[in-house]
């Protein structure tokens, strides 16, 4: 799976926005026993106004 953001510019992190296999590799599910597959999105949405939403 992956997460796609609407209304937020991914300046410098555009590789982490979009459909799995297009902009980024799909993210495998993580579990408490297997944290190697964990993925954390980190970006600063400073200066954005309006409505934002995201989906996987």
When mean pLDDT is compared over 4-13, 15-24, 26-35, the highest value belongs to 4-13
**3 state DSSP class of 33:** coil
Residue 5 near residue 52, CB atoms below 8 Å:
yes
Domains of the chain: 1-56 (2.60.40.420)
Residue 27 near residue 20, CB atoms below 8 Å:
yes
Distances from the Cα of 47 to the Cα of 7, 13, 16, 44, angstroms: 11, 16, 19, 9
pLDDT grade for 37, boundaries at 50, 70 and 90? low
**Pairing verdict, β 4-6 and 53-55:** antiparallel
Average pLDDT, the chain: 77
């Amino acid at each position: 799976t992956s997460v796609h953001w609407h209304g937020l510019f991914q300046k410098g992190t555009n590789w982490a926005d979009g459909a799995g296999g297009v902009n980024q590799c799909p993210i495998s599910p993580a579990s408490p026993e297997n944290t190697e597959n964990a993925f954390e999105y980190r970006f600063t949405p400073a200066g954005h106004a309006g409505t934002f939403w995201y989906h996987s």
